[in-house]
Amino acid sequence: MTGFSPPRLTVGAVSSGAGKTLLCTILGRLFTSQGYSVQPFKSGPDYIDPSYHTVACGNISRNLDTKLIGENQIRELFCRQARNADISLIEGVMGLFDGAGGLEERGSTAHLAKILNSPAVLLIDVSAMARSAGAIALGYQEFDPDLNLAGFILNKVASSRHEGMVRSAIEARTGLPVLGAIPRDKDLLMPERHLGLIPAWEGDRILSFLDRNTEKLKAALDMEALLRIARGASPFPSYEKTLFITEMEKDIRIAYALDEAFHFYYQDNLDLLENRGAELVPFSPLNDRTLPEDIQGIYIGGGYPELLAKQLAANSSMRSEIQAAAGKGLPIWGECGGLMYLMEELVDFEGNLYPMTGVFPGKVVMKKNLRALGYYEGKLRAGSWMGNKGDIITGHVFHWSQLENLPDKTSFQLELVKEDRTVLTDGLCFRNTWAGYMHVHLAGCERVMNNFLNICRGYKNGQKKGL
């Protein structure tokens, strides 16, 4: 498809922690307050940053991960949402050129911007520098000539004098404009916990945070110049629609966990399941006593079961229902937090032990240090609805817990290999229940999606054989 060039702007940074989420969230809120329809996106596998975008813009933020999704599919997913917006804002990940490896651009903000033919602005934390910011800006400008770097935004500026020195150094050496200067202000720090920022939907304090700081950033940013850059984006690259072609009639019902404990889902995953014939029915493992009626599958995504383990344990009715459903062969898919809930027991950060659903024997224990992080290729060790033995599944892993007290006969379903050749084991299977730490994006794993839908249809048709 060609002939479409939506206004778009990619926000990158020199490094992680430079303030990209704050900037994108406030930008989205500012443009929205001016009457524009803003469609937010997030580069990479993050679940939490998009929640801030969604609250600020009123449109659900989408993940675009060039390591997990092919270029053609990236463009299709982007245009599917950008068509209905006045401007699209794309928040980067880590530093502008940081991707899957030291010599690998896939997964990086720059790679995504090039795939989308999007102009980019670079956020620089200048709190401990002055003229040196010019050298940093120049290096980023020249590092990849194929990237359309349109300007810079300064963060943590100490004073007007400090801003003037940095601005002149950058503009003189690069010839590109400084499009804003955000002051150093402790009120602009966003709340965090072990998995990153606190999800925006956890309380009204996020809206209060946005209300308190939007005017500060409005005065610090050249909104007209940023809008002009977005509208001046080059023509959008051609692509072929392969994901969302014809919507299938809804013929199965899949319940998916959605509450404070479980809410890490790529929105496009949910959309794809619906497009391929699934009616998605939300339920709360925290608050609902029973599963939804007449379902042919369950999807339990990631989240924070470790922080709400006491409440999850107290809902013994739901725990028993899920255990019974797994025993009957109802297809269940658990990702990360979903895996934790499907274990027999969970030990939280304080050492408290709580019963979970008990679909899998053993316990999951929270640790003080990160246990695994990054992109992995998973090779299936055995056949299941997830795929055939030897099939390769690419996904992202990020967790602070580990499985313990597993039976000696436990057989992990996946061998995970990272770019640096780190090898992990993952994936448990019981009848039609499959759970693991690895998150997948269905736009890059259509085979897995179709397998899950087919096993759910098979269950509906009375084919309740265990795997």
Domain ranges of the chain: 8-231, 252-460
**pLDDT value at residue 466:** 43
Domains 8-231 and 252-460 share a fold: yes
* Catalytic residue from among 336, 429, 445, 456: 336
Find out whether 348 and 367 touch, Cβ atoms under 8 Å. Answer: no
The percent of the chain in helix, strand and coil, each rounded to the nearest 5, is 30, 25, 40
445 is catalytic: no
**pLDDT value at residue 173:** 97
* CATH numeric code, 8-231: 3.40.50.300
**pLDDT value at residue 3:** 64
* CATH numeric code, 252-460: 3.40.50.880
Is the pLDDT at 464 greater than 50, yes or no?
no
**pLDDT value at residue 467:** 42
Is the pLDDT at 398 greater than 50, yes or no?
yes
Each residue of 123-174: pLDDT tens digit? 999 999 999 999 999 999 999 999 999 999 999 999 999 999 999 999 999 9
Q: What mean pLDDT comes out for the span 70-94?
A: 97
Q: What percent of the chain has pLDDT over 90?
A: 84
**pLDDT value at residue 316:** 98
**pLDDT value at residue 192:** 60
Is the pLDDT at 100 greater than 80, yes or no?
no
Lowest mean pLDDT among 98-112, 230-244, 272-286, 401-415: 98-112
Half-sphere exposure of 92 (CA within 13 A, CB side): 32
Q: What mean pLDDT comes out for the span 178-201?
A: 72
Mean pLDDT of the chain: 93
Half-sphere exposure of 102 (CA within 13 A, CB side): 1
- The pair of structure tokens assigned to 400 is 């602070």
pLDDT band at 463 (very low <50, low <70, confident <90, very high): very low
**pLDDT value at residue 422:** 83
**pLDDT value at residue 1:** 60
Find out whether 165 and 134 touch, Cβ atoms under 8 Å. Answer: no
Q: Spell out the residues 6+ positions from residue 457 whose beta carbon is closer than 8 angstroms to its own.
A: 251, 252, 296
Q: What mean pLDDT comes out for the span 46-54?
A: 91
- pTM for the predicted model, two decimal places: 0.94
